[in-house]
Every structure is written in C-alpha cells, then in structure tokens.
Amino acid sequence: MGSSVRKGRAVQQAEPPRRAAKEDFHQVTQNTNNGRAITASRTEASTKSSTKSKDAELILQIQSYIDKNTVVIFSNTTCSLSTKVKELFKSMKVPYFSLELDQTENGQKLQEALYQLTLETSVPVVFVQQQQIGNYSKTLKAHEEGKLQKLLEMNGPNHLQESYDYDLIVIGGGSGGLAAAKEAVKYDKKVMVLDYVTPTPLGTSWGLGGTCVNVGCIPKKLMHQAALLGQALKDSHKFGWQFTEEAVKHSWETMTEAVQNYIGSLNWGYRVALRDNKVTYENAYGEFVGPHTIKATNTKGKEKLYTAEKFIIATGERPRYLNIPGDKEYCISSDDLFSLPYCPGKTLVVGASYVALECAGFLAGIGLDVTVMVRSILLRGFDQEMANKIGEHMEEHGIKFIKQFVPIKVEQIEEGTPGKLKVIAKSTTGSQTIEGEYNTVLLAVGRDACTRKIGLDKVGVKINKKSGKIPANDEEQTNVPYIYAIGDVLEDKLELTPVAIQAGRLLTRRLYAGATLKCDYVNVPTTVFTPMEYGACGFSEERALEKFGENNIEVYHSFFWPLEWTVPGRDNNKCYAKIICNIQDNERIIGFHVLGPNAGEVTQGFAAAIKCGLTKEKLDSTIGIHPVCAEIFTTLSVTKRSGGNVVQSGC
Amino acid sequence: MGWEEKPVRGYAEFARTAQQHHGRPIFVLFSGDKDAAGHSWCPDCVTAEPVIRGELHNMPEGSIFIYCQVGDRAYWKDPNNKFRKNLKLTGVPTLLKYGTPQKLVEEECFKADLVRMLFTED
C-alpha cells in the first residue's frame, strides 16, 4: 500500500486542527486528496462507495492522528501490553493520545488499515513525532536506547509538550457537561468536571446536575403535573368520583418537599455515576487563568490550579433581572421558585417566555391568583398563532394578563413568607402607570449566559459582547482550538437539554473515538408545558412563509376535542392541530404543531417521522389509533388556503 | 466524641433509635439477619460489611451508625414488609444517610470510595 515510515517533521501541538495547505511530504497512498494537505480526514475524504476509497478514508484518518499528536498509541482497552506502554509514557511524564480501537467507530476496519500502514500485527502501535516506533517491545527497546527521548526533544526542550493534569476538563455539571464527561471516560480519558452554583440574590442554591435537573425541566414538569392532577380531580366528579370540593386542598410544602426529594436523589445519582466512572468532580467555580489552565475555587474559597489538553465550556445560563429598584431584593426567579419554602400566594409573573407561561400556568393550576405582565408578544420565536391560543386558554381559565406594560419599581409593603409587594408598572405605548399588590413577583424575562466571569479573555475565547453567548463552528469548537462549548452558552443554538446532551456526546466521540457525526440541530422537537400543552417540530408558520413563500406551502389544520374532556364538558374546540407542507417537495411535512394534552408524547413520534422525510401522503396513508388525540393528524384535510371550517362536532 | 454504633433488629427498633438521635448525622446499614454463628443469609451483605466498616472512621463527628438487621430471607422477600413500604428500600445491603435521598444499594456498597463519598460529602 505504500511506505509506512514517516520521517520526523514535528507537528506543533499548539496548531489548530484545521491547517492551511503545507508542503506535503507525506506519502498519500490514494488520490482523494490530490495536492491538498492532509487535514482531518472526516471532512476531506470523499464519501464514495467503493472499498478502495473507504480504505483511503481510514488510512487518512489514522494518518491524521499520527500528524496531530506528538505521541500516538493505537490501543485496545482490553490489551495488557497497551496498558503497559501507556504506563511507560506516564512514567516519563509524557502525554500521549491513545485511540482505543475496540471502542472506536469502525475500529475493526481501522485496525486493518493500521496493519496495512504499519505491518504491525496487533496493538499497541506507537508513533512518536510521526515516526513509527512499533509494538510494546520495540517501544521499550527504543526507550532503553534513549531513542524516544531524542525524538521527543527534537525541537528543543521547550517544545516538549507539557504534561497536562487531565485530558479533558468540563466546566459546568449540567445536562451537556455531564453527558460529555461520562462519554469521555468510556475512551479511557482522564476527565474532571467542575460544577458550581452561585447562589441567587435571595441565597438559593442547589446540587450537581445543572438547570434542567434542579431549577428547570424536572421540577417544572412535576409541578405542572400537580396542576394537571388538580384539574383531573375537578373532572373526576363527572366520571363518578364523589367528594366535596372543600375536601380538596393543595399543600405547597408537601409538593415542594416531594419535588426537592426527587431532585436530591438525582443529584446524588450523578455524584455516584461520576465517582463510579472515575470522573473527578469538584464543587468549585472554574475560570481560565492562562493557556490550558483553569483555577477552581471551592465554597470555602480555596483555590487550585488544573491543566488540561482540552476544555468544554458548559456553564449554561441564569435568569436575568430587570435592573429596576427592588428587583433583586424582593423578586424571585425560577431559580428560587421550585424550592420556595412557603407558598407564593398571589403572584405576578413578569415575562412572556415559556418559563413565564409555564410557571404562571401551574401556579394557577394549584389554585393561586396569578397575573402575567407582558411587554409585547407571547413566546417570541414560537409560532404566533399557537402562542396566542395558549394565551387565550390561560385567560379563559382565570389567569389575568396585563399586556404592554413593564415594571419600573418593586416595593415591599409587608415582610413575611410571603410578604406583600407593590409593583409599579409603566405602559410601553404611553405614559400610563399602574400599581398592583402581590405576595410574590416572579421574574421570567430571559436568561443570560454564564460566560462573562470565567476568564475567557485570558485564553482569547470570543463571545458575543451583547448576549454573552459563545459562537462555535458546527463541531462546537470555539475560536480557540482546544476549547469547545455546548449547551445554552452556544450562540444560535436551541436551549434544550436533549440538544446539549446530544452535542456533548457526539463531540466527545469525535474527539476521542474517531467518530465524525455532528449534532443535527434541524427539526428538533420541543414542548411547552403550559396548561394547554404545545408540541412543535420544524418551521413555525411565519418562518415557513418567509422561507418558502405563501404559494409554496400548504397548511392543514383542525380543532379536536380529546375524548377525556367530553364527559366533563370542557374546552371544546380549543385543542388544535396544524401541519405545514412544502408543496414543491412532495408535500413534505416541514412544520408540526399540536395544542392539546400530552403534547410532548404526541410530538416525539412525529419528530422521528419528520426526520425520515414524512410527506402528507404518507401521513394520510397512516391509519390512526382510535380514540386518541394524535389520530387527528392522519385525517387532516382542510387547508387554511381553502378557508374551510375546522370546528369539530361529534366523534 | 467520634461516632457511636447502634445495633437494632426490625423496623420498630430502627425507627425508635433514629428518632432518639434526631439532630445528629445518622447513617444506616440495612442487612440480612445473621444466624447464631454470625453468618448472614445475604451474601452481598457479607461482602459489603467489611468495606463499610473500613470507612466508618470517615463519618462526621458525632455520627450515629445504625446497624439494622431487617429480618430473615422470607420476611425480606415479602413485598409488603415495613422496610419496603415505609423506607422504599429495594435491596439489601442498603447504606443510607437518614433523612436525605443519599444512599448506596447492593453492589454500590462494595466500593470503598462510594462509601467514603456518602460519609464525607454533603
């Protein structure tokens, strides 16, 4: 297949993986890369189907590992000689890159390609400064003869790579960070996770797991469930359950205790998982202090420095405040709500985000007096027809809305748990001001990325000055090649737990297991857990119109009435289904929207179908399940274009 | 002051003892009963006990270590036994920090560093 010995031209480790074309002295055995430097084979190598070029791809991939790392060990997690050779380099305090072929995608094929390249019949196969050393015994011999030292010092002792404390340090122990860390250890990497929660202005803090587990998705959904159960109790009379209304009471304390208990078990579970997987976890605030170096400050103020070859920033976001008098002293945010030790009472929710509407929804659902103060539109970025339906439903069910006002001052009238607060708000359309009294003011006006105080300037990581978010390429790499970012800190990416988890896992596989798959951010399904739940996948109607034009999309829609709601007689013709089709592409479904119970459960399956390229025809030929809400999607026939009536009557 | 061990048998005695020491850190090891010769019917409990005892010195000052024998194998297997019902225990051995969701179950108890983590970290 061609010469396998690469004579030493050192590769500077500091160079980014994407190199401009260099004088290429490497023997390229296939011609897929004529005249172009060998860069990461994953993007350059072609995807032709012939075996010959698949081999070429693999060889290029192997070559790229050899080129990019001072010491490379092609290894196997079960091989004792591989372990021994790693020990050898560890004893020399020389860092190495090891590729575990039994854990790598295409591992078997890579091993065959490796044999073709090196003629070594098994692992480990060691390369130092692009020079093939060989198997364990050859490596040991080279070490004893001083050959390894000579190679390593080839470019002068100051070019000798420092030995890093860790292969990977993950800053942030949330959905993204933990997923990445747990994946990395599968490939035998030394990983540290730093997680630290700066207490809220009111002093609230929480354990390992990030926003989703502690102050996001998990407690939100549990409290939403509490509200749904309240509604179910009301419905149950019509189904024959007999009890007096007075007997039904809700205890905030019982609910929060149960929720916090569950969260505690999750925090603990993560601690056990990390420890069990040999991930070093420190409850400490991480900030960069220099290249490859981070300072970790624990709760007692003790500082420690750590170095790593690579970093992943997964620090997430925290709720924004309004910068008005009284906001930090008297208002709470979602960070405080889920562990509030007392019932919030009469509540003003400021904001129109899904956080605001979901919280307003369940607070009202457990019987509290709730008002939502909205500056302009509801659920910015979401399909506005659906957003307005959500708002209408909330209003019909007793939640008050104050629209086009913003708070300008919050004063305390009475101390207490809860106390009494006075809110003064100003109109956005005129000079009118209004006042209101509430027990609790919950601010849900947006979230800010935690990137401004982690020393990014010390390592040159660029952030968006306005939003604080980090721009990254489609491989989650920042402008500094050894620093990556995942999750809510990323610019222009969806702020969702499963997205962060997927991005974290795939990133780690690309870094350490030779994988090439990138995170697919298209057609990510979401659900808003307002009292009337909303599930969506793909384009909103506005975005579809903007992108494709009115004449090229067909919108099918219908109201529906869940069977379970017929007997209690509620909310007829409120649940709503809508799909948006691309006429020019076989009426491909490009937008899916459902307003109704169990919206998340309904949407998940359709998201998979959309990924498979679902068309209207295929959808129509799918037989519905009866009697369920989702079956409406298999019988949609009225288009918006036709102006036909979609009000339902009967089965 | 160090720490104190309280051996108990059965749910009632366990509950009483835990209540008595309310306010102190309480760690409980639930194990299958030992016979007259000191052998437990639960093989995992036999494996776990020395590992756990080896880490007891890491418990915070003033801790109470309750060693609770849950009953014979038949009682344990009964899905309605008091430990399953009231404490939601799912297996023996279970080592837990009383009043918190922190616990180690079965094979987790064999790992000294997990036991140490339970005893030392918040």
What span, in angstroms and rounded, lies between the C-alpha atoms of B14 and B71?
Answer: 12
Instruction: Quote the tokens at residue A341.
Output: 């030790």
Provide the pLDDT for residue A95. 83
A621 touches chain B (CB under 8 A): no
Tokens coding A468: 């604080």
What are the structure tokens assigned to A601, written together? Answer: 């459960």
**A330 in Cβ contact with A412 (< 8 Å):** yes
- Statement to judge: residues A430 and A567 lie in one domain: no
Which of B101, B113, B114 minimises the CB distance to A264? B101
Which amino acid makes up residue A55? D
pLDDT of residue A269 exceeding 60? yes
Structural domain of A150: 49-159
Predicted confidence at residue A434, as pLDDT, reads 97
Tell me which amino acid residue A457 is.
D
Q: How many domains does chain A have?
A: 4
Asked if residue A129 belongs to a domain, the reply is yes
Q: Which chain A residues contact residue B114 at CB under 8 A?
A: 272, 275-276
Q: How many helices (H) and strands (E) would you count in chain B?
A: 5, 5
Whether residues A225 and A291 fall in one domain: yes
Distance CA B10, CA B18 (A): 12
How high is the pLDDT of residue A20? Answer: 33
Higher pLDDT pick, A483 / A30 = A483
Q: Which residue, among A214, A266, A276, A279, would best test binding to B if mutated, counting the most B CBs under 10 Å from its CB?
A: A276
Q: Are residues A340 and A427 in the same domain?
A: yes
Burial group, residue A137, by CB count within 10 angstroms (0-12, 13-18, 19+): exposed
Residues A455 and A310 both lie in one domain: yes
Per-domain boundaries in chain B:
4-120
Candidate CATH numbers 3.30.1360.120, 3.50.50.60, 3.20.20.70, 3.40.30.10; the one for domain B4-120: 3.40.30.10
Tokens of A496: 């969702």
pLDDT for res A68: 80
Same domain, A336 and A422: yes
In a domain, residue A13? The reply is no
pLDDT tens-digit series, residues A156-169: 544 445 689 999 99
Q: Confidence class of residue A117 from pLDDT cuts 50, 70 and 90?
A: confident
Average pLDDT over residues A592-597: 98
pLDDT attached to residue A3? 37
Residues A209 and A339 grouped into a single domain: no
* CATH number, position A120: 3.40.30.10
Which of A230, A288, A286, A223 shows the shortest CA–CA distance to A255? A223
Residue of A nearest to B111 (CA): A276
Q: What is the pLDDT of residues A303-360, one digit of tens each?
A: 999 999 999 999 999 999 999 999 999 999 999 999 999 999 999 999 999 999 999 9
Residue A453: pLDDT over 90: yes
pLDDT for res A90? 86
Q: Does A272 touch chain B (CB under 8 A)?
A: yes
Say what the ipTM of the complex is.
Answer: 0.90
CB contact under 8 Å between B117 and A261, yes or no, is: no
Distance (Å, rounded) from C-alpha A523 to C-alpha A529?
A: 19
Between CA B86 and CA A141 the distance in angstroms is: 64
Task: Report the DSSP beta bridge partners of residue B68.
Answer: B8, B30
Q: What is the pLDDT of residue A9?
A: 36
Largest CA distance in chain A: 90
Terminal CA-CA length for chain B? 21
Average confidence (pLDDT) over A73-99: 89
Tell me if A462 is assigned to some domain. Answer: yes
CB A43 within 8 A of CB A37: no
Judgement on whether residues A212 and A307 belong to the same structural domain of the protein: yes
- pLDDT surpasses 80 at A260: yes
Mean residue pLDDT across chain A: 89
Q: What is the pLDDT of residue A51?
A: 64
pLDDT band at A222 (very low <50, low <70, confident <90, very high): very high
Yes or no, beta carbons of B111 and A276 under 8 Å apart = yes
Specify the pLDDT at position A24: 34
The 10s digit of each residue's pLDDT in A369-415 is 999 999 999 999 999 999 999 999 999 999 999 999 999 999 999 99
Residue A42 lies in a domain: no
Whole-angstrom Cα distance, residue A172 to residue A193? Answer: 7
**What's the pLDDT tens digit per position in A413-432?**
999 999 999 999 999 999 99
Kindly list the distances between the CA atom of residue A604 and the CA atoms of A238, A487, A497, A578, A582, in Å, as whole numbers in the listed order. Answer: 31, 21, 15, 15, 21
Q: Determine which of A118-127, A383-392, A499-508 has the lowest per-residue pLDDT on average.
A: A118-127
A48 confidence band (pLDDT: 50, 70, 90): very low
Q: What is the pLDDT of residue A557?
A: 97
* Nearest to A592, CA basis, from A578, A604, A605, A582: A578
Residue A11: inside a domain, yes or no? Answer: no
Asked if pLDDT for residue A651 goes beyond 90, the answer is no
CB-based contact A276 B117, cutoff 8 Å: no
Contacts of A267 in chain B (CB under 8 A): 101
User: Residue A262: pLDDT above 60?
Assistant: yes
From the candidates A159, A393, A593, A626, give the one annotated as an active-site residue: A626
* A623 Rama sector, left if φ>0, alpha if ψ -120 to 50, beta otherwise: beta
> Tell me, what's the pLDDT at A616?
98
End-of-domain residue from the set A445, A474, A504: A445
Task: Give dist(CA A124, CA A100) in Å, integer.
Answer: 10
For A469-495, write each residue's pLDDT tens digit: 999 999 999 999 999 999 999 999 999
Residues A370, A59: Cα–Cα separation, whole Å: 64
Peptide bond into A17 cis (omega under 30): no
* Per-residue confidence (pLDDT) for residue A150, from 0 to 100: 83
DSSP three-state, residue A371:
strand
Distance from CA of B59 to the nearest CA of A (A): 17
- Any idea what DSSP says for residue A428? S
Which is it for strands A332-333 and A317-319: parallel, antiparallel or unpaired?
unpaired
| Other beta carbons within 10 Å of A642 | 10
- A222: part of which helix (H) or strand (E)? helix A217-236
Q: What is the pLDDT of residue A615?
A: 98
- Asked whether A168 and A312 are in contact (CB, 8 A), the reply is yes
* Per-window interface: B 95-114 vs A, CB < 8 A: 100-104, 108, 111, 113-114
- Provide mean pLDDT across the span A524-547: 97
CB A209 within 8 A of CB A346: no
| A189 and A299 housed in the same domain | yes
**Per-residue confidence (pLDDT) for residue A55, from 0 to 100:** 76
Q: Find the closest chain A residue to B113 by CA distance.
A: A275
Which range has the worst mean pLDDT, A58-67, A389-398, B25-34? A58-67
Name the one residue in this structure whose structure tokens are 């309310």. B22
- Weakest-pLDDT range from A36-40, A291-295, A565-569: A36-40
Min distance B102 CA to chain A CA atoms (Å): 6
A224 catalytic, yes or no? Answer: no
Tell me what pLDDT residue B1 has.
65
Pair A271, A352 in one domain: no
Task: Decide if B117 and A275 are in contact by the 8 Å CB cutoff.
Answer: yes
Angle at A629 between CA A553 and CA A639, to 5 degrees: 25
- Taking an 8 Å cut-off on Cβ atoms, the answer to whether A275 and B103 are in contact is no
Average pLDDT, integer, range A514-541: 95
Q: How far apart (Å, rounded) are the C-alpha atoms in residues A158 and A256?
A: 57
Q: Is residue A29 part of a domain?
A: no
Which residues of B fall within a CB distance of 8 Å from A264? Answer: 100-102
Residue in chain B closest to A273 (alpha carbons) equals B114
How far, in Å, CA of B24 to CA of B98, rounded?
Answer: 10
Q: For A130-176, write each residue's pLDDT tens digit.
A: 889 999 999 999 998 888 888 887 655 444 456 899 999 999 999 99
Which of A131, A159, A187 is a domain's end point?
A159
Residue A327 within any structural domain of the chain: yes
CB contact under 8 A, A268 and B113: no
Domain end marker among A445, A472, A500: A445
Predicted local confidence at residue A650, as pLDDT: 59
The verdict on residue A520 lying in a domain is no
Q: What is the mean pLDDT of residues A260-289?
A: 95
- In angstroms, the CA A635 to CA A620 distance is 6
A543 and A466 inside one domain: no
φ and ψ of A194, to 5 deg: -110, 125
Q: What mean pLDDT is predicted for residues B70-95?
A: 94
The residue behind tokens 């849900």 is A444
* pLDDT at A524 exceeding the cut of 80: yes
Residue A41's SS3 state is helix
CATH assignment at residue A369: 3.50.50.60
CATH number for A613 = 3.30.390.30
pLDDT of residue A648: 80
Distance from CA of B97 to the nearest CA of A (A): 11
Work out how many CB contacts closer than 8 A connect A with B: 23
- Yes or no: say if B66 and B6 are a contact pair by the CB < 8 Å rule: yes
Considering the domain architecture, whether residues A356 and A466 belong to the same structural domain is answered as no
A177 with A311, same domain: the answer is: yes
